[in-house]
Amino acid sequence: MPQGLIASSGQFTTFGIFLRLAAATLAGLLVGLEREAKNKGAGIKTHVLVCIGSALCMIVGEYVYLQFPDGADITRIGSSVVSGVGFLGVGTIIVTGNREVRGLTTAAGLWACACIGLAAGAGYIEGVLLTLGFVMFALLVLRYFDKALSRLSKDFDLYVEIDENHNVKHFLHELRRMDVTFTNVRFTKSNAPGDGPIVMLSATAPKIAQRELVVEHLRDLEYVRYLEDF
């Protein structure tokens, strides 16, 4: 970053606050890219939202200090809100039947909204509007980037429903034949009468370009009733 922009980001001006939030967005984006490339639960949007929210917390703290230099106790309620909403966000995170984590982005969005609410309550409307713009960018624009990137990863998880127990070994043999490495293999039984076993595992395709080919081939196996990759 040019020296002039670094100096501007240290000033409590509209442009300076914009630069701070942009830097937080970029930092969350880069870390999220690495996590998304490895097919981890917390991806781009989650990292960006948390980074934006934490940046706004510091900005609001500076705003309160500048506006109310003798009112240090004002920040106590804000710190309680930040930690309290964190516990609320945990309640939105669930693990689905196929061991997929859901709700991380919702939890991060709740926490970011709490930070925006603190800024609004403190009267810092510029910070509210700027942060809202970055948050909506993360939710509306990055989701397309998020989906596209997830399809470009060699690492993915599989949820597979197989017709009969003895075909499980054939399915695993097919993965090895295609040079697909796999770990965390878990087996369970469907609750529906007459249904066969369910296999869940983490897989890595030989090449990124082969992931879709691998998934489509596995779906076409006669003993595979249902297959989902994520």
Are 64 and 138 within one domain? Answer: yes
CATH number of the domain bearing residue 216: 3.30.70.260
- Structural domain of 128: 3-150
Residues 115 and 174 in one domain: no
Q: How many domains does the chain have?
A: 2
- Domain shared by 123 and 209, yes or no: no
Distance CA 34, CA 100 (A): 19
Residue where a domain stops, chosen among 150, 165, 182: 150
| 127 and 189 co-located in one domain | no
Same domain, 50 and 159: no
- Whole-number pLDDT of residue 193: 62
Q: Name the E strands within 75-171.
A: 94-95, 101-102, 155-162
Indicate if 138 and 171 belong to the same structural domain: no
Mean pLDDT calculated for residue range 138-151: 75
Clarify whether residues 170 and 105 are in a common domain.
no
pLDDT per residue over 50-106, tens digit each?
A: 889 888 988 888 888 888 777 656 666 666 676 766 665 555 555 455 455 566 778
Task: Pick 141 or 144 by higher pLDDT.
Answer: 141
Q: Which of 122, 150, 178 is the last residue of a domain?
A: 150
The SS3 call for residue 192 is: coil
